[in-house]
Amino acid sequence: MIFRRGLPGLLGLLCIFSLAGCGSGPRADLVLCNGAEPQTLDPALVSGQLEGRICAALYEGLTRRDARGRSVPGAAESWTVSPDGRTYTFTLRENLRWSNGDPITAEDFCYSWLRALDPATGSPYAEIFYFIRGAEDYQAGRAPAESVEIAAPDARTLVVRLKNPVPFFPSLTSFTTYLPVHRATVAKHGDRWTRPEHWVGSGPYRLKGWRVNDRVALEKNPRYHGADRVRLSRIDALAVTRASTAFNLYSSGQADVLLDKGLIPSLIMPKLRGRPDFHPAPLFATYFYRFNVTRPPFDNPKVRRAFSLAIDKEAIVERITRGGEPIALSLTPRGVPGYRPPAGPVASPVTAKALLREAGYPNGQGFPRVSLLYNKSELNEQVAVEIQAQWKRELGVEVDLRNQEWATYLRSLDSLDFEIARSSWVGDYDDPLTFLDCFATGRGNNRTGWSDPKYDSLLDQAQADPAAASRLRKLEQAEEILVNQAMPILPLYHFVGCLMFDPKKWDGLMPNLLDEHPFSEIGARPPRLSK
Amino acid sequence: MLTFLIRRLLSSIPVVVAVLALCFLLVRIAPGSPFASERALDPRTKAMLEEKYGLSGSLPEQLLRYGFNVLRGDLGDSLKFRGRTVAEIIGQSLPRSLLLGSISFTLALGLGIPLGAWAAAHHGKKADSFLNSLALLTLSTPTFVLAPVSVLVFAFGLKLLPPAGWGTLSQLILPAICLAIPFIGVCARLTRSGLLETLGSDFIRTARAKGVSETNLVYLHALRPAILPLVAYAGPLAANILTGSLVIEEVFAIPGIGQFFVNGVINRDVFLVSGVVLVYCLLLLLFNLIADWLTALLDPRIRVAS
């Protein structure tokens, strides 16, 4: 009898012990759902946004982003630029310290940037350093590391010589790949240096714990130069993939913030609009289709134009995406100060039909069977089905749908094994170049086979132009070719980002174009006193 | 017994080798690269990464290299979660799946066997057909329906339990039950059919003729031989349930090992997939061995034969 009573208790104790070993302690000041499990927390290796968000808390670049996504001084207190716009001299703050107490020097930045460029590091984002003179040659193995024109004449000065005038270079240094890493730690622990027990960083937060598929635990870094303005001492970033699960955690109060639109179930999105804790904002990202211009029928610009003009983009954002997305007439979304994206063609089924006739396919007769490639997801499928129907209706053309699983789809894109393919692009920095550079001849992200010397030369001229305004005009002309003349792509809509948090409880979270939400800016609002 | 054990262990080796080799080759043959992403990867960087992780050269070369590393106890690094070893990922995730799975396994057998026996004892009556339909319903309800509905009812409707998460006992209850429910139905049906068959056999007729009570007949005499099919089923079931489930882990945000089977393949994370398949394979062999041993224990005829 005693045994029977004791057994459940014993089992219970066993459970408690096993669970206690899972690192759950008192609740953090802020619990946020960050998306999937971070693939890495080594800034040189990061390629995703969710990892970038955590890295922005763990390391500080020369500049950093504030709650509105604006670039503000970070590790550098100031910088000067030479008259030709090609040489930047950054001055670091005094007494900067790594989280282990070592001083942060300009040499650390040189080391970190060269490390990210080193082919042996295998950084997926190394090309973001190509603005720096000598960087591309070093990365390609054509020149030694010494040929990269960055220098640290003293502990607090960093001099960077650029290939072209890059007006946004200071803000670019807040980008994840540009974040500094601690040389001795990397040297000592190799690939394993980002484990919590080895990790050393320079940001407002320290890495306290990191459990696979569970959470990344952050705690305030007392050695951070701005520690007095960091308001929360402990933050947990949960790894949750499924939107309904993230939303359940949020609704039940187990999580305070949902940081990503992907974490909000799309079915209930229309119901959430108007709720005070729902914060949508346009994003610097575009959903578009690519045409493979290397083979018929899409080697004919008239066919591409006809296919573009036949699409009613409004129908897609109103019936399918339903998140308030603006339709895309250009590749670059609006929002870069001084840049007016050219308006691509507006839908005109009549003109589309006429163009197709001119191309030799009256009413779609004789048009070869082509397929539309997309990676398997509900949204991609719905958009593809809608567009398939529109092409059938307006042009009389049959398009097959071809859905592939992610890795297979990427391979098809890279090897141009498609006729039309779904794509999206998220801007890395707030300049049109982050979109337009993809379609320069021979770029890895071109993935259409399209090449136009005039486009390439406009991009080159723009990049060499030291005057910000005329630089943007040239980029506008280049984009005009891309979205209104040659049309190797068909922009459909611009993305909208959504945050969910209770504005009565939290501040320092502001929807912005680049979707930057630095954790160090977030704070709890003092509870209102009740009378 | 010892010879039996040794013979079984030895015969398992080729199985493990074949499973691991096949798994490795299938993931490597699948189109797409583990290093690909929406942003195009520089071919030099890709080649460098393949070299670094031992994925350069011909397929047989890669397989041999991998096999050699496994023999030395090195399961390799994850290709997706850079800087983490497969052993580390399994080491962190497996204990959680084992804890959750063992609760579910206990539930599946602990509820399935008595329910099945009870249904058999009331064969042909209303209780039997009710339990039978219930069992059919539970085993045919997919977990991707069961889990969200149970969250809706118990977390948001009745507000009894947290909807997801890991770390407290109350967070274990819903996932453990949802993981167990389909198997409770299977266990109940297996027990019932086993019992019905045994109850019709000669030794039961003899016992009944001798005046053994109906309850004793079912629970004492017939149950032992009747659960033999269930024991055979419980071996693979244990391996299955202890290695988690993608759906349960995603719905309840449980950091277990189950999701790596699917996501590892999607990411072409060949070492991670091979690692978790190895774990599954070893557990399967182990529990089948235990099941065979239990069968011998329960059935004297098998003992005599061996």
Q: Which residues of B touch A445 (CB under 8 A)?
A: 39-40
Residue (of A374, A365, A425, A421) closest to A398 by Cα position = A365
Is A127 near chain B, with CB under 8 Å?
A: yes
Interface of A with B in 56-95 (CB under 8 A): none
Is A40's CB within 8 Å of B256's CB? no
* Whole-number pLDDT of residue A38: 94
* Whole-number pLDDT of residue B215: 83
| Distances from the Cα of B68 to the Cα of A176, A191, B20, B65, B107, angstroms | 37, 22, 12, 5, 40
Average pLDDT of span A50-63:
96
Q: How far is A355 from chain B (nearest CA, A)?
A: 32
Q: How confident is the model at residue A14 (pLDDT cuts 50, 70, 90)?
A: very low
Residue (of B236, B238, B235, B262) closest to B248 by Cα position = B262
Is A448 near chain B, with CB under 8 Å?
A: no
Q: Which residues of A touch B77 (CB under 8 A)?
A: 191
- What does the alpha-carbon distance between residue A121 and residue B48 come to, in Å, rounded to a whole number? 9
Strand partners, A402: A373
Q: B153 Cβ partners below 8 Å, 6+ apart?
A: none
Q: How confident is the model at residue A143 (pLDDT cuts 50, 70, 90)?
A: very high
Mutate to test the interface with A, among B35, B37, B159 (most CBs of A within 10 A): B37
Helical spans, DSSP H, in B30-58: 43-52
* Whole-number pLDDT of residue B5: 82
- pLDDT for B86-139, tens place per residue? 999 999 999 999 999 999 999 999 999 999 988 988 888 998 999 999 999 988
Residue A273 pLDDT greater than 90, yes or no: no
In terms of C-beta distances under 8 Å and separation of at least 24 residues, what long-range contacts does B195-198 make, across chains too? B195/B116, B195/B117, B195/B120, B195/B121, B195/B222, B195/B223, B195/B226, B196/B120, B196/B123, B197/B226, B198/B222, B198/B225, B198/B226
* Whole-number pLDDT of residue A16: 46
Q: What is the DSSP string of A123-192?
A: -TTGGGGTTBTTHHHHHTTSS-GGGS-EEEEETTEEEEEBSS--TTHHHHTTSGGG----HHHHHHHGGG
Is residue A47 within 8 A of residue A175, CB to CB? The reply is no
Q: How far is B165 from chain A (nearest CA, A)?
A: 8
Is residue A140 within 8 A of residue A128, CB to CB? The reply is no
By CB neighbour count within 10 A (0-12 exposed, 13-18 middle, 19+ buried), where does B285 fall?
A: buried
- What does the alpha-carbon distance between residue A23 and residue A19 come to, in Å, rounded to a whole number? 8
- What does the alpha-carbon distance between residue B8 and residue A89 come to, in Å, rounded to a whole number? 71
* Structure-token pair, residue A368: 């070869």
Place of tokens 């059938």: A392
In terms of C-beta distances under 8 Å and separation of at least 24 residues, what long-range contacts does A15-23 make, across chains too? A15/B99, A15/B103, A15/B169, A15/B172, A16/B169, A18/B95, A18/B99, A19/B99, A19/B166, A19/B167, A19/B168, A19/B169, A19/B172, A21/B95, A22/A211, A22/A214, A22/B96, A22/B166, A22/B167, A23/A209, A23/A211, A23/A214, A23/A217, A23/B167
Is residue A74 within 8 A of residue A226, CB to CB? The reply is no
* Whole-number pLDDT of residue B32: 85
* Whole-number pLDDT of residue B40: 80
Q: Which residues of B touch A188 (CB under 8 A)?
A: none
Residue type for position B108 = A
| pTM over cut 0.90 | no
Q: How confident is the model at residue A442 (pLDDT cuts 50, 70, 90)?
A: confident
Is A7 near chain B, with CB under 8 Å?
A: no
Average pLDDT of span A99-121:
96
- CA torsion through residues B252, B257, B261, B267, sign: positive
Q: How far is A58 from chain B (nearest CA, A)?
A: 17
- pLDDT for A505-529, tens place per residue? 999 999 898 999 999 999 999 876 5
CB atoms within 10 A of CB B262: 15
Is residue B219 within 8 A of residue B199, CB to CB? The reply is no
Residue A22 pLDDT greater than 50, yes or no: no
By CB neighbour count within 10 A (0-12 exposed, 13-18 middle, 19+ buried), where does A161 fall?
A: middle
How many residues in chain B? Answer: 306
| B252 → chain A, closest CA residue | A245
Q: How far is A12 from chain B (nearest CA, A)?
A: 8
Q: Which residues of B touch A26 (CB under 8 A)?
A: none
- pLDDT for B52-89, tens place per residue? 899 999 999 999 999 999 999 999 999 999 889 999 99
Residue B299 pLDDT greater than 90, yes or no: no
Q: Which residues of B touch A195 (CB under 8 A)?
A: 83
Mutate to test the interface with B, among A248, A380, A424, A437 (most CBs of B within 10 A): A248
Is A403 near chain B, with CB under 8 Å?
A: no
- pLDDT for B138-170, tens place per residue? 888 899 999 999 999 999 999 999 999 998 899
Closest in A15, A191, A444 to B172, CB measured: A15
Q: What are phi and psi of A73, to 5 degrees?
A: -55, 140
Interface of A with B in 184-213 (CB under 8 A): 191-195, 211-213
Q: Which residues of B touch A409 (CB under 8 A)?
A: 32
- What does the alpha-carbon distance between residue A115 and residue A126 come to, in Å, rounded to a whole number? 10
Residue A495 pLDDT greater than 50, yes or no: yes
Strand, coil or helix: what is A292? coil
Q: How confident is the model at residue A24 (pLDDT cuts 50, 70, 90)?
A: low
Helical spans, DSSP H, in A326-400: 349-358, 378-395
Q: How far is B107 from chain A (nearest CA, A)?
A: 13
Is A119 near chain B, with CB under 8 Å?
A: yes
Closest in A15, A40, A214 to B166, CB measured: A214
Closest in A40, A211, A241 to B250, CB measured: A241
Q: What are phi and psi of A441, to 5 degrees?
A: -55, 130
| A435 → chain B, closest CA residue | B39
Of residues B18 and B227, more confidently modeled? B18
Q: What is the DSSP string of B1-25?
A: -HHHHHHHHHHHHHHHHHHHHHHHH
Place of tokens 């009570």: B213
CB pairs under 8 A between A and B: 152
- What does the alpha-carbon distance between residue A80 and residue A88 come to, in Å, rounded to a whole number? 6
Residue (of B166, B253, B255) closest to A243 by Cα position = B253
Q: How far is B4 from chain A (nearest CA, A)?
A: 33
Residue B38 pLDDT greater than 90, yes or no: no
Residue type for position A288 = F
Residue (of B259, B246, B274) closest to B27 by Cα position = B274
| B268 → chain A, closest CA residue | A407
* Whole-number pLDDT of residue B75: 95
Residue type for position A96 = L
Residue A8 pLDDT greater than 70, yes or no: no
Residue (of A514, A476, A337, A429) closest to A128 by Cα position = A429
Helical spans, DSSP H, in A1-139: 2-20, 49-58, 106-117, 135-139
Q: How far is A270 from chain B (nearest CA, A)?
A: 20
| B106 → chain A, closest CA residue | A11
CB atoms within 10 A of CB A219: 16
Is residue B109 within 8 A of residue B182, CB to CB? The reply is no
Over its C-alpha atoms, chain B yields an Rg (Å, rounded) of: 24
Q: Which residues of A touch B32 (CB under 8 A)?
A: 405-411
CB atoms within 10 A of CB B60: 10
Strand partners, A499: A279
Is A238 near chain B, with CB under 8 Å?
A: yes
DSSP count for chain A of H helices, then E strands: 16, 18
| Distances from the Cα of B158 to the Cα of A234, A481, B153, B173, B184, angstroms | 31, 60, 6, 14, 24
Residue (of B236, B56, B164, B282) closest to A33 by Cα position = B164
Q: What are phi and psi of B192, to 5 degrees?
A: -60, -50
- CA torsion through residues A500, A502, A505, A508, sign: positive
Strand ordering across the sheet containing A370-375 = A205-211, A215-220, A234-239, A30-35, A257-258, A489-500, A278-291, A420-426, A370-375, A399-404
How many residues in chain A? Answer: 531
| A414 → chain B, closest CA residue | B40
Q: Angle CA(A453)–CA(A458)–CA(A459) in degrees, nearest 5?
A: 100
- pLDDT for A448-468, tens place per residue? 999 999 999 999 999 999 888
| B157 → chain A, closest CA residue | A252
Strand, coil or helix: what is B240? helix
Helical spans, DSSP H, in B30-153: 43-52, 59-71, 86-121, 126-140, 143-150
Residue A154 pLDDT greater than 90, yes or no: yes
Residue B303 pLDDT greater than 70, yes or no: no
